[in-house]
Amino acid sequence: MVAKLLGLAFLYLTASPFAFTAHGNPVYPVPTSSVKINPNWEVVYQDTDVYGVVNKAVILECGTTVPDIYIWSFTKPGTDAIKAVVYNLGKGPRIQQFAETLGKLTIISNSAAVSIEKLLLAAHGLFTCQAFYNIDKEPIVYYYYVHLTVRVPVSKPYLLLSDVSPVEGSTMWMQCNLENGTGPIQYVWQHETRSGNITVVAQGSSSAINVTDINRNHTGWYRCVATNAVNSESSNRLWLDTIFGPDIPRIDVTPYSITERGYSALERETVSLMCQAQSNPASQYVWFYNNSQVYSGPQFTITKVLRMHTGDYACLAQNTYLNTRSKKTISLTVYYPPDGSPSCSVEPALNHTALKLLCTWPGGFPSPSLDWTGDLENARKIQADTEQQSNVQSGTAILLPSGNLTSNNTLFRCMGSHPTLKQSTECGTRTYIPPAEPVCFAFVTNNQQYLMLSCSWDGGAPKALVWWEGPGGQSKGGQENSNILVLRYGTARSGKPYTCYAKHPLLMEAKSCRLTLEAPVLLTQRRVVSVYEGSDVQLTCNLRANYLPAKEITWFNNQGIDVRDTSKYMLLRTIGWANLTVRDADEMQDSGEYRCSTSNAVGGAEINVTLVVKKHPMPPNATLIRATYNSPKRTEVELEWQVDGVEEKGGWTGFHLEHQWVSERPNRRGSSNESQLRMEERIGPQDWQCTIIQEPDARSHTVRGLTPTVTYQFRIIPINHRTIGHPSPTKTPAEPRHNMYPAVIGAAIGGMLFAAILTVLLLIFIIRNRHNNPRLHDMLFGLQHSQSRENINFPEDEMVRGSEGIEDIGGSSSPGPAVSIPRASSPLTTSHLSATPTPSSQAPPPGEDNEPVSVTITVKATGS
Ligand SMILES: *[C@@H]1O[C@H](CO)[C@@H](O)[C@H](O)[C@H]1NC(C)=O
Ligand SMILES: *[C@@H]1O[C@H](CO)[C@@H](O)[C@H](O)[C@H]1NC(C)=O
Ligand SMILES: *[C@@H]1O[C@H](CO)[C@@H](O)[C@H](O)[C@H]1NC(C)=O
Ligand SMILES: *[C@@H]1O[C@H](CO)[C@@H](O)[C@H](O)[C@H]1NC(C)=O
Ligand SMILES: *[C@@H]1O[C@H](CO)[C@@H](O)[C@H](O)[C@H]1NC(C)=O
Ligand SMILES: *[C@@H]1O[C@H](CO)[C@@H](O)[C@H](O)[C@H]1NC(C)=O
Ligand SMILES: *[C@@H]1O[C@H](CO)[C@@H](O)[C@H](O)[C@H]1NC(C)=O
Ligand SMILES: *[C@@H]1O[C@H](CO)[C@@H](O)[C@H](O)[C@H]1NC(C)=O
Ligand SMILES: *[C@@H]1O[C@H](CO)[C@@H](O)[C@H](O)[C@H]1NC(C)=O
């Protein structure tokens, strides 16, 4: 509707029959009809239209030839009155007063045409020129009707706008006003932009236009141009200011980086957010971060943006004049690098048949890009089909197929890069096959509740999978590096293999090692141990090696009582053996069956050892050959004896010299009757009093502290260790011979000197001739030696029977309790044949009794 007048054609001045020269002088057309002579004397009428402009000149023609007489008259339109303007009756033109009201009228010489300068509007009307020709002869009368139209030029129009600041979308009108101007008038509306481009907005005959739906493009200068047949005039321009906006803002982010999440920026750089929203008047801007206002103004700059600045940024533009607003929100994500450097690891996958390479680098945003490189390329090519690749959060995992494709000690590298970091970083991981074979062993918990079968295969990368398969469903699923199968004590199966399998992703085949559980086997050096009374004897019991750990070995004594360390028994124990020492063996108390026993998770064993404590043989008989008081005081008795059959060496260790009170005679020196009576009451043999002589060589002894008034009898009993021999016949000491004392003493001294010389000579002789007379030599010098040999106390018969009672130590085969296989041939056996009894003073053997039970015993691994 706005400029629909545009299409209308301008109306221009219509061409008149008279063209005006630049000077306003008319060009005369020749009216051909007027030449004709009306034979009937009729008046000829001719009509012309002439256009003039106010204040300008116009020429009104009256025929082509000068008539003899003419009269110009004027009729005002709308009136009938006809008024003379000028006439010429042959005596020159006579201009009427009235002509002044029409303009400045003059007659053009040599013609009947009139020229009106400064044409007045009042001249508008019908001019009639009555022309008379040929009056003298036959007069011809012409009436020339000249219709003069007087036009007014358009005055300068002025533009009127209904609203110089219309709001976008509203409707307004423009009016082009004129004071003067002859119609029809054409109006043209022009729009001049800020840049000076002028366009026609509308044109037409209407002096007003409506502009509907005003928009910002209508802003600018407006003028209207009014045009009529005379002229064209342009109004002054008027500024039209369209009020609008704000539009939806445009946000420019620098540096510009857009992703599917919105804008992004790198941490620590400067980010500038520029907001622009078209508006008139200009917008006011407010910035919001996550719905809270942070800044006013078009440009919001964050220097050193941080990851916490991630979020939604909204720009609100306001038109304060219209009180309108618009808003735009963008999301800004701040990228930041992950911490440290990527970390690589290798894990088993698909039940340890494949390798999973894991590369992680947490913390950054967005997630860093991680790529496995290196030796991996080979494996990838080989098994491109089966390989899978999956992205784990903030990491990359790659699955590599198992087997010997990946050799030991392979390096895999992972390259990590992140948009915030200039340089990429890498990490590496190596795979290793465990260096050794799997190791299996068994142990028992301290409280003997559980049997543990342990299997380990350490040192792999990734860790190997280890699992147990045993008989009767006694199995245990896979664990890494090591696995312990826990069996309740006693539930383990004897003789059935427990197999541990170990699988490493780098190897196609699983490795294995095997444990077979067997009951313990006990061994002893000798099944029957004989010993002489009084010595210490050691009973040995040891476990045949290579079986499951057993409980502590226990000894039971001949009473069937569990043996503890006491003064009687000394128990030395380790995990492998228990030696029981019976101290000071006594024939009655200690002889009998001793039992040693143990058990492990799959069975028990025991072994009996018979201890035979023997008495020493009877010593030879001895005889007292002399018993004499050595003084009249009768308080000391000297005794001498001899051993019967002394040519037999040894056989005794000492003597018991005993005396017994026989009777008491009355006290010669006078004693009270009372005491005498009491003495007599005590008449009769008393207990033997014993003097122990531990010198086997002794042959004489002096008994002191005797009561002079008492009569004693003496006897000698040879002793062999604890075996007491037959007592000799008793002897009552003889009275001393007082008078013979000095002579006896003198003779004794002389005899002694003589005997000493003889003895020296005899000794020299014996030593020189000891080979010729060894018996004598032995008697004097070898006695000590023979006695010490006797102390070893080894009955000859036991030596002979020894082989029967000796348990085979290095022996083999049959498990089960107390199996004994006689074999005396091994060097081990022979070396242990002798010297079981040991003196109690002997130091205990090295070795810890209380070692923990969980010491490993069996290592029997089978690789496959
Ligand atoms: C319009 O015409 C009148 C009469 O002729 C004159 O007085 C007036 O000044 C003219 N107006 C303009 C703007 O020319
Ligand atoms: C003026 O506007 C017209 C039409 O809109 C366009 O074709 C022309 O290029 C513009 N001229 C200038 C100088 O802007
Ligand atoms: C302009 O709008 C007014 C009111 O709506 C109406 O009267 C007038 O005729 C319209 N003028 C033109 C030129 O359309
Ligand atoms: C304003 O003019 C521009 C270019 O001439 C044009 O692209 C835009 O659509 C116009 N706007 C309106 C509201 O007509
Ligand atoms: C802002 O909003 C974003 C997205 O909803 C959110 O991640 C961020 O934590 C928010 N920031 C604050 C300071 O609330
Ligand atoms: C894993 O491997 C072991 C031995 O090769 C097999 O017994 C077990 O069934 C496997 N498990 C799965 C889930 O494939
Ligand atoms: C694997 O390589 C490591 C390091 O070179 C080495 O210690 C290990 O013994 C190797 N294992 C095998 C099974 O070769
Ligand atoms: C030793 O004496 C006892 C008793 O006096 C006698 O029975 C025995 O035969 C004697 N022994 C020898 C070897 O004379
Ligand atoms: C205990 O007996 C074993 C043989 O069974 C022997 O090897 C070990 O040395 C003995 N220990 C001691 C302290 O005598």
Q: What is the pLDDT of residue 860?
A: 32
Contact 181/151 with Cβ under 8 angstroms? no
The model's pTM is 0.51
Backbone φ and ψ for 830, nearest 5 degrees, come out as -65, -40
**Using one digit for the tens of pLDDT, what is the confidence trace for 715-726?**
999 999 889 999
What is the Cα–Cα distance from 576 to 441, expressed in whole angstroms? 17
- Token pair, residue 643, equals 């051993």
Beta bridge partners of 556: 562, 595
Beta bridge partners of 60: 114
Please, which residues have CB within 8 angstroms of residue 859's CB and are 6 or more apart in sequence? 439, 440, 441
Tell me: pLDDT of 624 over 70.
yes
**Domain limits, the chain:** 2-151, 158-229, 250-335, 343-431, 439-516, 522-614, 622-724, 749-774+817-837+853-864
**Using one digit for the tens of pLDDT, what is the confidence trace for 661-688?**
888 876 555 444 444 444 444 555 678 9
The 3-state DSSP class for residue 802 equals helix
Contact 305/265 with Cβ under 8 angstroms? yes
Backbone φ and ψ for 386, nearest 5 degrees, come out as -85, -10
DSSP 8-state code for residue 596? E
What is the Cα–Cα distance from 267 to 303, expressed in whole angstroms? 10
Tell me: pLDDT of 312 over 80.
yes
Q: Which fold has domain 622-724?
A: Immunoglobulin-like (2.60.40)
Mean of the per-residue pLDDT values for the chain?
78
Domains 2-151 and 250-335 equal at CATH topology level? yes
Q: Which ligand is closest in space to the CA of residue 726?
A: 8
Residue nearest to atom 3 of ligand 5 (CA): 311
Residue nearest to atom 8 of ligand 4 (CA): 217
Q: Of residues 396 and 128, which shows the higher confidence score?
A: 128
Tell me: pLDDT of 749 over 70.
no
**Using one digit for the tens of pLDDT, what is the confidence trace for 44-67?**
899 999 999 999 999 999 988 899
What is the Cα–Cα distance from 479 to 792, expressed in whole angstroms? 61
- Cα of 728 vs centre of ligand 8, distance in Å, is 9
Contact 298/279 with Cβ under 8 angstroms? no
Q: What is the pLDDT of residue 857?
A: 29
Tokens 């085949």, residue located: 509
Which residue among 191, 193, 197 has the greatest number of ligand 2 atoms within 8 angstroms of its CB, and so is best to mutate? Answer: 197
Please, what is the end-to-end C-alpha distance for the chain in angstroms?
Answer: 101
Backbone φ and ψ for 848, nearest 5 degrees, come out as -90, 130
- Token pair, residue 808, equals 């085979």
- Cα of 244 vs centre of ligand 2, distance in Å, is 23
Contact 67/133 with Cβ under 8 angstroms? yes
Q: How far is CA 235 from CA 177, 199, 541, 712, in A?
A: 9, 15, 139, 185
Angle CA 754–758–764, to nearest 5: 150
| Residue from 287, 285, 249, 273 nearest 332 by CA | 273
What is the Cα–Cα distance from 507 to 431, expressed in whole angstroms? 11
- Cα of 350 vs centre of ligand 6, distance in Å, is 9
Residues having CB within 6 Å of any atom of ligand 1: 155, 179-180
Band the pLDDT of 819: cuts 50, 70, 90: very low
- Cα of 441 vs centre of ligand 9, distance in Å, is 26
CATH class of the domain defined by 2-151: mainly beta
Q: Which fold has domain 522-614?
A: Immunoglobulin-like (2.60.40)
Contact 838/536 with Cβ under 8 angstroms? yes
Structural domain 439-516, CATH architecture: Sandwich (2.60)
What is the Cα–Cα distance from 396 to 378, expressed in whole angstroms? 18
- CATH of the domain spanning 343-431, picked from 2.70.98, 3.30.2420, 1.20.1250, 2.60.40: 2.60.40
196 pocket-lining for ligand 2 (C-beta < 6 Å): no
Could you count the other beta carbons within 10 Å of the beta carbon of residue 690?
12
Residues having CB within 6 Å of any atom of ligand 5: 290, 310-312
Which residue among 215, 218, 244 has the greatest number of ligand 4 atoms within 8 angstroms of its CB, and so is best to mutate? Answer: 215
Q: Which atom of ligand 4 is least distant from the CA of 216?
A: 13
CATH number assigned to the domain covering 250-335? 2.60.40.10
Could you count the other beta carbons within 10 Å of the beta carbon of residue 610?
16
Contact 55/24 with Cβ under 8 angstroms? no
Q: Is the domain covering 158-229 a CATH 2.60.40.10 domain?
A: yes
726 pocket-lining for ligand 8 (C-beta < 6 Å): yes
Band the pLDDT of 394: cuts 50, 70, 90: low
Residue nearest to atom 10 of ligand 9 (CA): 579
DSSP 8-state code for residue 827? H
What is the Cα–Cα distance from 653 to 564, expressed in whole angstroms? 33
Residue nearest to atom 1 of ligand 9 (CA): 579
Q: What is the pLDDT of residue 777?
A: 46
